[in-house]
Structure 1
């Protein structure tokens, strides 16, 4: 079968099995946060410098998710043409954040996780 993209040869069998459409997207989309988690890279550290912790956490998770979506979509031949739409659709809900911050009451049980040091401190404070 002729292939119109640059999948590694050992992965071409995935194209013939329709049930695994989006496999590359799912794989890349999951591996990016895993690499970030295990490498200690955190966009929240940068965002905490310019905002409060809650908003930094919200924007950080959305931004990191959208970046992972974009990279994964551009690498997946089935979703490459949708990459820009995925990014726009992922960023658009951020418009609601200022309104939610102002008008939505947060639960006292809600946890906003930041970088690794914050998580360690949070866990130490809440579990005696």
Structure 2
């Protein structure tokens, strides 16, 4: 009997995978989606605070993971609940401190039959009483 041995080299290449950080309003409507890339067996850091849509803020007291693990079965989607940001405008700070148009939430709708946009903005105004 002759015994033959062969050396077998196996090279493991982790698969590239993508997950999403999905920003949703109180009604569950998706406002924005950010893609996050990783490879199988990696732990990906998640920081939804750096890309909150303009005019919105994260609703406090959520359990948002700081990392997600990429597995052979995929990566879980991270859902972040957000609400409209409000700015208080007073006679002393008529511009709301550092108020600018980008701080307002925009609901822009493009008309397909034209090259124009209609925008509506939401702001909370407070009248000072003397």
Indicate the TM-score class for this superposition, using the shorter chain for normalisation. under 0.3
Which protein shows a greater Rg?
2
Higher strand fraction: Structure 1 or Structure 2?
A: 2
Higher helix fraction: Structure 1 or Structure 2?
A: 1
Higher normalized contact order (CA 8 Å, seq sep 6+, divided by chain length): 1
Question: TM-score, structure 1 length as denominator?
Answer: 0.26
